[in-house]
Structure 1
């Protein structure tokens, strides 16, 4: 049996721990809980430590659930206190012609910084390169959990940031989540976490048409 993939995945997880405040907090809470369990028979502080551990782990679990919910377009989660702004897509209808390579490409702006993006209806999450993220002033969300993304080069570890403003054609998305990973190279993707918040999107005569929800449309 080949254990290399399992060891590789474990190594990636261990490398992610120092960069994830949630993981560090969870480990500390579990250690306090274990210490409290051993001390419970000898000191009243043992029960207090176990109670603190349970509350802390519950809060961490809730935070993880909220962060994961934002990656699913069926949910609309916004909790500014933990760095999760509302995700809104507004503007006017945008038309994107089919590229020569059979994909839909658009010149978009991340916080005012331009970059080339492929519209990918098969991608759950919008993804940007580290170069564009650096130029746009994006940083991984504090306390965010690392995620694993499938790419053409295999599965890579990425961190999530919130884009204050993402403009593509006449469409403007605010508070949008995006994955950042070094392995993306210069590749950028508009994923379903943006498209699903539109009123509709369709293809007519080889042209991709993006239409905001009626309440989010901006009249010209």
Structure 2
């Protein structure tokens, strides 16, 4: 079990929706499914409209970030998130493809998993290899979180002071270091579609 007070950070996203729900409605329904999965929501960011990543891969996304508590190891927490995704029709068949629901485990406290060398290897992977290769194990913190505005802008809403355990910079500092045009693409959603 994560030690008391250790924050579990996740990113949420949808660009397809499911069962006649909009992407935003899908995220709201997903949050309602968390308690049955043993995931307790502590804080939730605003919802944001974000361009699809990679560009041209499908409709734009609705993204958010959350801080959770849950019992179990990081791997067990990831399995719980995958179970929730599956209940919303998520199929893992294309890397960076369109998604009914995407729940990414970004970090669990200050854990670096499986070790720093593996983290650094995946963190430095060239973009063309990122599209082709998928880790065969959980890597924490998420090796791309510090590069992605669609993750950092919502995460700054709920965990601005969380310090990346490898880069030793807060979410706020990582967000501020992004190019201004990248941050500007992540727009608070005016119509949350409820």
Identify the structure with bigger relative contact order (alpha carbons < 8 Å, sequence gap 6+).
Answer: 2
Q: TM-score, normalised by structure 1?
A: 0.25
Length-normalised TM-score, structure 2: 0.27
